[in-house]
Amino acid sequence: LPCTHTGTGRCFMTSQNHGFAVDSKHLPENWKDLFINENDKTNEGIIHERLPYFSVQFHPEHTAGPTDLEFLFDIFVSAIKSHKSSNTYDISAKIVKTLEYKTTMSERPKKVLILGSGGLSIGQAGEFDYSGSQAVKAMQEEKILTVLINPNIATVQTSKGLADKVYFLPITPHYVEQVIKAERPTGVLLTFGGQTALNCGVQLKRAGIFEKYNVSVLGTPIQSIIDTEDRKIFAEKVHAIGEKVAPSAAVSSVEEAVVAAEQIGYPVMARAAFSLGGLGSGFANNEDELRALAHQALSHSDQLIIDKSLKGWKEVEYEVVRDAYDNCITVCNMENVDPLGIHTGESIVVAPSQTLSNREYYMLRNTAIKVIRHFGVVGECNIQYALNPYSEEFFIIEVNARLSRSSALASKATGYPLAYVAAKLALQIPLPKIKNSVTGVTTACFEPSLDYCVVKIPRWDLAKFTRVSTKIGSSMKSVGEVMGIGRNFEEAIQKAFRMVDENVYGFDPNIKSADENELREPTDKRMFVLAAALKDGYPVERLYELTKIDKWFLDKFKNIIDHYNILEHKGIISAETLKNAKQVGFSDKQIAAAIKSTEIAVRKQRQENNITPFVKQIDTVAAEWPASTNYLYLTYNGTSHDIDFVKGFTMVLGSGVYRIGSSVEFDWCAVGCLRELRNQGRKTIMINYNPETVSTDYDMSDRLYFEEISFEVVMDIYNLEQPDGVILS
């Protein structure tokens, strides 16, 4: 829980298990509050004004929680040593000195320029429409005028009624300067428009445009952005705080790349700096492969990074938030199901992490906070790690000092509005003073607790292109992504497989046949090859050797296939077998295919046996606090509904996953529909499963179901909610 030090106002995460608090209104003379609970303002620690006595009501050192206030033990020990040597020791002053952080206050802007991300491209899609829209909302709440530059007409953020002014112009230094000249904003936000906005901002800074027109960069300082983007400076800065990046070298020619690779040792990974979605990157096992890669990468950037290959290591990422007063939290940690070697945008990602030990989790969390403080990030930041599966050795892969696709996923996975909070922090509002907009009563300075599991799967449309390799790796090819929510990993991932492609029934072993080469060299269909291999009896050990996917995940996949085998052998199934299958994420259609029946027959049997899903809330605090959230999902691993069902809603179906030919423009349609229904005084239900969208923002509708858009699920929701009508188009 968040505890605030009364002397400095700094807020820290603490481990707690108590149900009572000291009544600070009736403290004896000379005693005062030391820490208070930021949520309910109850006492969390007391200190004597003169004598060296103090106490806290949390665990500063706890091995099952944050150790952010461990230094209190050092002060306690120092006080004892000082007393033994008959010296005076002012505990209160020492704590204040340790926690004090001086920030440079700047004047609050009256008009802010927001740079959008421009046209959609692979690696940069609708997530920046979501983050930009949140930034505009945050500015409007603070009564600040907003000017948006974004030439993408198919976005919600450029719609009438959001930003005060919208310029449909290219996001290039020349055009942005013209807008600055005409509008005279006093602040600019660069971190809400992806790599396009960042690169443009860096060019404007170097050209002296911001200084010329007296425009201050809000949030993360521009030098911090350059420090995280320039791989050479980044490595030096990380080494300066005793942390490690993978052995690498920054080069600017093919010959330099060859020399660097010989020093580091093959295999190596080559990637272009300041690039989007791993553009121009790949793995090289020898000099010939490296020369080909380097030629390609240097056409995208004038700096090339040669990294030691860590293929097969675990890839873990954290979303970290820091304010201008050095209050720092980690909002979400995510683990890639695929090992390192596949771009995180191409990977299946699970939140929260499933295979890290508690020690590993807090080791990486502490490093994340240390790094974000060292770089001076104000707002939101994403940090990616490579973790050795056989030891606690880890390397920092990269730090993104901006909103990213991972940020959109983390926001939707936890219910924590990262972009909205980051925009408020850019105005130097302290994190503890921002409200958690999901609960409405607690502070935004907290680390969300998840009592569910979230799985993200990318969508590739490679079949629509000729002569395109289906292999996936360090360069992004996916055009969209989906997010499934469940009470266990199997339920969440099976939902996600169906969301990616409506023609897929789940983790289906009948789509592809087992192929060891495809397991070794990942393709867009590798998961179905894995399903076939499990069906053919491949042991988990062998599959781990081939794929380097953690055995925990492989065991979960095996559990799904075991249920397939049970269904296929039984033919006629009992209510118990049916319920068990539903609890590991099987759809009616999937069960029907396994038992040679029909979806309607399975649905009928399910309803006759009262096997129906329960509606659960995402409340960010795992029911520790009362929350009236409208952010919902269905599960068969429950015993009761979290909400009451009242009639009078209109249901709107979202557009689902982005694909070639169906993208952010349909999200614009869905949001427009929701807004107009609200204007007409109607209550709305939204069903969608795309984490990159504005329509899946919890404040866009009265009830948001983050669920599949299929006959089974929509009918289940329809039967529960009994809406007045459904809008499909």
Domain membership flag for residue 321: yes
Residues 6+ apart with CB under 8 A from 721: 645, 647, 649, 651, 685, 703
Domain membership flag for residue 555: yes
Distance from CA of residue 31 to its chain's centroid?
Answer: 43
Under DSSP, the state recorded for 172 is S
Domain membership flag for residue 14: yes
Structure tokens at 275: 């690039």
Helices (H), 241-325: 254-264, 287-297
Domain membership flag for residue 226: no
Residues 39 and 25 in one domain: yes
Distance (Å, whole) CA 95 – CA 34: 10
Under DSSP, the state recorded for 487 is S
Q: How many CB atoms lie within 10 A of CB 461?
A: 17
Residues 511 and 544 in one domain: yes
CATH number, position 7: 3.40.50.880
Under DSSP, the state recorded for 463 is G
What pLDDT sits at residue 103? 87
Domain membership flag for residue 120: yes
Last residue of a domain, one of 416, 450, 484: 450
CATH number, position 160: 3.40.50.20
Instruction: Outline where DSSP puts E strands in 337-389.
Output: 349-351, 379-387
Q: How many CB atoms lie within 10 A of CB 548?
A: 18
Which residue's entry shows tokens 């999937």?
Answer: 590
Residues 639 and 583 in one domain: no
Residues 403 and 459 in one domain: no
What pLDDT sits at residue 462? 73
Q: How many CB atoms lie within 10 A of CB 447?
A: 20
Rg value, the chain, Cα: 26
User: What is the number of structural domains in the chain?
Assistant: 6
Residues 129 and 180 in one domain: yes
What pLDDT sits at residue 276? 56
Helices (H), 142-230: 173-183, 194-206, 209-212, 222-229
CATH number, position 276: 3.30.1490.20
Last residue of a domain, one of 99, 127, 161: 99
Residues 6+ apart with CB under 8 A from 8: 96, 99, 100, 101
Domain membership flag for residue 141: yes
Report whether 483 contacts 454 (CB < 8 A). Answer: yes
Domain membership flag for residue 228: no
Distance from CA of residue 405 to its chain's centroid?
Answer: 7
What pLDDT sits at residue 62? 65
Nearest to 405 by CA among 122, 201, 123: 123
Domain membership flag for residue 617: no
Structure tokens at 164: 């005060």
Residues 290 and 259 in one domain: yes
Which is it for strands 314-322 and 379-387: parallel, antiparallel or unpaired? antiparallel
What pLDDT sits at residue 619? 77
Report whether 616 contacts 606 (CB < 8 A). Answer: no
CATH number, position 591: 1.10.1030.10
Nearest to 291 by CA among 274, 270, 264, 309: 270
Q: Residue 692 is which amino acid?
A: E
Distance (Å, whole) CA 583 – CA 565: 16
Neighbouring C-alpha atoms within 13 Å toward the C-beta of 528: 14
Residues 486 and 590 in one domain: yes
Residues 479 and 411 in one domain: no
**pLDDT < 70: residue spans in the chain:** 17, 62-63, 123-126, 274-280, 474-475, 622-628
Residues 202 and 140 in one domain: yes
Q: Residue 124 is which amino acid?
A: Q
Nearest to 290 by CA among 276, 273, 304: 304
**Domain containing 354: what range?**
311-450
Residues 290 and 315 in one domain: no
What pLDDT sits at residue 270? 84
Distance (Å, whole) CA 449 – CA 438: 13
Residues 497 and 418 in one domain: no
CATH number, position 354: 3.30.470.20
Report whether 13 contacts 329 (CB < 8 A). Answer: yes
Distance (Å, whole) CA 586 – CA 588: 7
What pLDDT sits at residue 623? 67
Last residue of a domain, one of 218, 237, 259: 218
Residues 558 and 433 in one domain: no
